[in-house]
Amino acid sequence: MDDTLADLFAVIEERKETLPDDSYTASLFTHEKGENAVLEKLGEETTELVLAAKDDDRDEIAYEAADIVYHLLVLLSMKGMDLDDLRAELESRR
């Protein structure tokens, strides 16, 4: 799982640097969508995850959780943070 997150974060960072026109991720780093869009998506996906959990829909739980993780990684990148920052915080809670 950690390799998957690292790979995904690397793609996010690459899209932030190169800003390809056809990339949803890149659009989040432009004025086209920006930070507010990421924050709105995090709220939206969290609500959808809660509803999926309430319905005990395992497939939908996984789908919405993945959306949350993706948008969380985009937000970390926007704030100049990375997986090491997240790991350090999680380790400090152990």
Q: For residue range 12-26, list pLDDT tens digits in order.
A: 999 999 999 999 999
- Whether 2 shows a pLDDT value over 80: the answer reads no
Angle at 19 between CA 17 and CA 23, to 5 degrees: 130
Distance from C-alpha of 32 to C-alpha of 28, rounded to nearest angstrom: 7
- Whether 80 shows a pLDDT value over 90: the answer reads yes
- Whether 82 shows a pLDDT value over 70: the answer reads yes
Distance from C-alpha of 39 to C-alpha of 49, rounded to nearest angstrom: 15
- % of the chain beyond a pLDDT of 70: 98
User: Which candidate, 81, 84, 70, places its Cα nearest to that of 38?
Assistant: 70
Looking at residues 53-75, what average pLDDT do you find? 98
- Whether 55 shows a pLDDT value over 70: the answer reads yes
Identify whether the C-beta of residue 13 lies closer than 8 Å to the C-beta of residue 77: yes
Q: Which domains are delineated in the chain?
A: 2-88 (1.10.287.1080)
